[in-house]
């Protein structure tokens, strides 16, 4: 069974107590997203990585890609960290992934103590991949390969994959308090999403695009009063800024898209809809 290897981003910059708290929030958010999509999965954590096991790997990827705080994920083949096992698994994993005449490279990294260096495991695994696909006329190119195989060795296990799938990044949803967002058009929709990416729970005022926002927050709240919020969010351009009277609010007012052109807003909106970041 394949395992999804999940990496966070900004959380790693926090102090230890904050990082631990954010890691717990992120794990709960992943479980919430998976549950809302009706996907059964086991989520575990060790050494700054989350590991997801499920019979529905494709469904897990589509679900987890919408969780804020995650930088990237990879669908991996898992084996022991023994050199022979890594080489054998890498060779089998490469079958069907290289086309005739293509070049390839292997990039490896390690965490923990092992009887080999990263370059040694990359060299041996690369040799195994070459021999397994030699009939295709493939070649090694460490500078500009057509295909890259990655090996991430973490203690007594090795994870082999060939793709980093980008995710929204940011901070875990719910780690930064609540804000209220006026969502009446595309700018308002993108502004609310950008605040969610910064870890804020967003209360939406308006019906524009709520279903899209709910894909990223299954517990999205709408049309509530502004009690106990930490800020107000408005989707406006720089040209419209003089029309806003910030003194009318008792909390800070945020304008996430103020420096974005209309094309920038549409580009991000397309990414939001496709979950391709």
Instruction: Burial-class residue 70 by CB neighbours within 10 Å (0-12, 13-18, 19+).
Output: buried
Q: pLDDT value at position 1?
A: 67
Which tokens in the block code for residue 21? 């708290």
Residue 87 shares a structural domain with residue 72? no
Angle at the Cα of 133 from the Cα atoms of 128 and 135, rounded to 5 degrees: 135
Residue 216 shares a structural domain with residue 240? yes
Structural domain includes residue 218: yes
59 alpha carbon, distance to own chain's centre: 15
Structural domain includes residue 161: no
Q: pLDDT value at position 99?
A: 96
Residue 72 shares a structural domain with residue 105? no
CATH number at residue 102: 3.30.2130.30
Structural domain includes residue 170: no
User: What residue numbers bound the domain in which 21 lies?
Assistant: 3-78
In terms of Cα–Cα distance, which of 170, 192, 165 is closest to 256? Answer: 192
- Count of structural domains within the chain: 3
The SS3 call for residue 140 is: strand
Is pTM, for the whole model, over 0.85? yes
Structural domain includes residue 50: yes
Which of 49, 78, 107 finishes a domain?
A: 78
Structural domain includes residue 163: no
**In the chain, which residues have pLDDT < 70?**
1, 225
């Amino acid at each position: 069974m394949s395992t999804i290897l999940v990496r966070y981003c900004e959380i790693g910059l926090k102090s230890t107590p904050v990082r631990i708290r954010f890691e717990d929030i992120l794990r709960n958010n992943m479980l919430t997203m998976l549950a809302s999509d009706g996907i059964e999965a086991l989520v575990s954590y060790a050494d700054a990585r989350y590991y997801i096991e499920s019979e529905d790997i494709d469904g897990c990827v589509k679900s987890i890609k919408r969780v804020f705080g995650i930088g990237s994920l990879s669908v991996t083949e898992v084996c022991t960290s023994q050199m022979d096992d890594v080489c054998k698994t890498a060779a089998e994993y490469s079958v069907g992934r290289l086309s005739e005449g293509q070049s390839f490279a292997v990039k490896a990294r390690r965490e923990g103590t092992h009887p080999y260096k990263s370059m040694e495991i990359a060299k041996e695994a690369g040799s195994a991949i070459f021999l397994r696909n030699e009939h295709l006329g493939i070649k090694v190119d460490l500078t500009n390969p057509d295909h890259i195989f990655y090996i991430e060795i973490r203690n007594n296990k090795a994870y082999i994959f060939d793709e980093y799938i980008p995710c929204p990044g940011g901070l875990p949803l719910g780690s930064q308090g609540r804000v209220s967002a006026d969502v009446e058009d595309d700018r308002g929709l993108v502004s609310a999403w950008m605040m969610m990416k910064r870890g804020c729970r967003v209360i939406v005022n308006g019906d524009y695009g709520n279903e899209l926002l709910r894909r990223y927050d299954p517990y999205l709240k709408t049309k509530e009063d502004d009690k106990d919020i930490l800020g107000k969010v408005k989707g406006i351009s720089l040209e419209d800024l003089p029309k806003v009277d910030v003194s009318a609010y008792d909390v800070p007012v945020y304008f996430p898209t103020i420096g974005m052109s209309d094309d920038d807003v549409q580009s991000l909106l397309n990414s939001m809809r496709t979950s391709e970041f």
